[in-house]
Amino acid sequence: MNFADSEVVGAILRDAGHCLAESVDGADFVLINTCAIRDNAEQRVRHRVRELRAQQGRNKRLRIGILGCMAERLQSRLMAEEDNVSFVCGPDSYRRLPQLMAQVREGQRGAEVELSTTETYADIEPVRLASNGISAYISIMRGCQNYCSYCVVPYTRGRERSRDPQTIVAEARGLFERGYKEVTLLGQNVNSYRFDNVGFPELMAMVAEVSSLLRVRFATSHPKDLSNELLEVMARYPNICRCIHLPVQSGSNRMLKLMNRKYTVEWYLDRMAAIRHYMPDCSITTDVIAGFCSETLEDHEATLELFRKVRYDYAYMFKYSQREGTYAAKHLPDDIADEEKTRRLNEIIALQGQIALENNRQEVGREYEVLVEGESHRSKEQLFGRNSQNKVLVFDRRDAVPGTYRKVKVTDCTAATLIGELCD
């Protein structure tokens, strides 16, 4: 999401006459787009801001601006705590950045942190800042009002609002015409996308119709809203990727209730069965939190048990981090010791690593259509790409070129990567 937002910021600044600096040494501004979801994300930003002090010593014109969720959460407090920060700008105020930066050039400091109920940046064509020219993000909605009890996002990104589908389809078409082969539709909870009479399944169909050669992905879905209607649309279009990211957060009903997730483990498993019914070859990935308030060993064991049942292809695994202002911070004591959170997290990581490896071993011998993305990190002689399931395949280059589809047969694997060879 921040990656996509930075590309919107890039477009706003370019239209205001700014350009990208070659390095920090020649720059007038460094803008840091931030995440507030866990404390360690914020600590990394603070570290970076302090590191930039040395550069500011050498380059007296250099001003630092903090964008995104951390700016929204801390507002001018952040400028008081980090005195080399000149301005903060929240996620709904990016159109005001040019004025804010002009003000800062005159020697003032400033904060733009108002949240909006309507801003979607629908009319802004993002500058594809770090894109490989093959795959791009399209933001389709902003904000979240699910209020999971641990989560700061509803406070930093505001109310949910959806972007006009015509502008989304036009952006996808424009990308395809420029040679892009894959788009990922982004939102905090894409299943609750709605603009007039267009819901998420209809939107997916509209984007999939742009071209059968354009792959369509999406993130993130909330299990409570994952409908059969969406699964039917996915199954109907082979270019909608066979991969669903469905954050579970915990395998214990008691925890899910405390987390205000609004579903049970039974409901979640029913959704897993539905996914496999409509698309037997669909990969499933998740997010999970270890050591949430009052989590017992039994609750933790229930999470491990769920992982054994579902057998995810990939999981993002986190330790609970208390966030000021959330329901949990106000009403639920953060009572699991940090070492115990780490121990539980490591247990989940070890189990998931083993499952991912076992899943990948089953892939040996299968053939996949792979969108070739670029050179492998290990060797110039090898390329990598992804299959529809979003698994990375590495293979000898031969005559393959990035940006094309090729058939690849899996010959070997690790827990994270499939190793293969070109079939034709």
Binding residues (CB under 6 A) for ligand 5AD: these are: 37-38, 150-151, 247, 249, 287, 289, 318, 320-321, 323
Q: Which does 289 bind (CB under 5 to 8 A by kind): ligand 5AD, ligand SF4, none?
A: ligand 5AD
**Closer to ligand SF4 by Cβ: residue 208 or 328:** 328
Q: Is 288 in the site for ligand SF4 (CB under 6 A)?
A: no
Give the torsion sign (CA, 296, 297, 302, 308): positive
Give the torsion sign (CA, 206, 119, 15, 128): negative
Q: Nearest distance from residue 157's CB to ligand 5AD, in Å?
A: 12
**Closer to ligand 5AD by Cβ: residue 144 or 393:** 144
Provide the residue count of the chain: 424
Contact of 175 with 183, CB cutoff 8 Å? yes
> Smallest Cα–Cα separation from 391: which of 243, 288, 245?
243
Q: Which does 291 bind (CB under 5 to 8 A by kind): ligand 5AD, ligand SF4, none?
A: none
> Smallest Cα–Cα separation from 418: which of 381, 390, 379, 399?
390
Q: Is 222 in the site for ligand SF4 (CB under 6 A)?
A: yes
DSSP state, residue 37: S
Helix (H) or strand (E) holding 347: helix 338-363
Q: Which does 215 bind (CB under 5 to 8 A by kind): ligand 5AD, ligand SF4, none?
A: none
Q: Nearest distance from residue 159's CB to ligand SF4, in Å?
A: 11
Q: At CA 211, angle to CA 209 and CA 212, rounded to 5?
A: 95
Q: Is 68 in the site for ligand SF4 (CB under 6 A)?
A: no
Footprint of ligand SF4 on residues 365-424 (CB under 6 A)?
none
**Closer to ligand 5AD by Cβ: residue 151 or 393:** 151
Tokens 């004591």 map to which residue? 333
Question: What is the spatial distance between Cα 124 and Cα 98, in angstroms, rounded to a whole number?
Answer: 15
Q: At CA 25, angle to CA 24 and CA 28, rounded to 5?
A: 70
Contact of 185 with 168, CB cutoff 8 Å? yes
Q: Which does 154 bind (CB under 5 to 8 A by kind): ligand 5AD, ligand SF4, none?
A: ligand SF4
Contact of 413 with 366, CB cutoff 8 Å? no
Question: What is the spatial distance between Cα 292 and Cα 72, in angstroms, rounded to a whole number?
Answer: 24
Q: Nearest distance from residue 288's CB to ligand SF4, in Å?
A: 12
**Closer to ligand 5AD by Cβ: residue 214 or 290:** 290
Q: Is 9 in the site for ligand SF4 (CB under 6 A)?
A: no
For helices 338-363 and 297-310, what crossing angle results, to 10°?
Answer: 10
Applying CB under 6 A, among 91, 126, 154, 199 the residue interacting with ligand SF4 is: 154
Tokens 């966030």 map to which residue? 323
Tokens 């302090």 map to which residue? 50
The two tokens of residue 295 are 């989590």
Applying CB under 6 A, among 144, 168, 282, 289 the residue interacting with ligand SF4 is: 144
Q: Which does 91 bind (CB under 5 to 8 A by kind): ligand 5AD, ligand SF4, none?
A: none
Closest-approach residue to ligand 5AD (CB): 287
Q: Which does 38 bind (CB under 5 to 8 A by kind): ligand SF4, ligand 5AD, none?
A: ligand 5AD
**Closer to ligand 5AD by Cβ: residue 121 or 320:** 320
Footprint of ligand SF4 on residues 174-193 (CB under 6 A)?
188-189
Applying CB under 6 A, among 8, 67, 148, 186 the residue interacting with ligand SF4 is: 148
Q: Which does 222 bind (CB under 5 to 8 A by kind): ligand 5AD, ligand SF4, none?
A: ligand SF4
Q: Nearest distance from residue 164's CB to ligand SF4, in Å?
A: 22
Supply the DSSP string of 220-238, one letter for each residue: ---GGG--HHHHHHHHH-T
Bridge partners (DSSP) of residue 419 are: 394, 412
Q: Give me the residues that bind ligand SF4 (CB under 6 A), please.
A: 144, 146-148, 151, 153-154, 188-189, 222
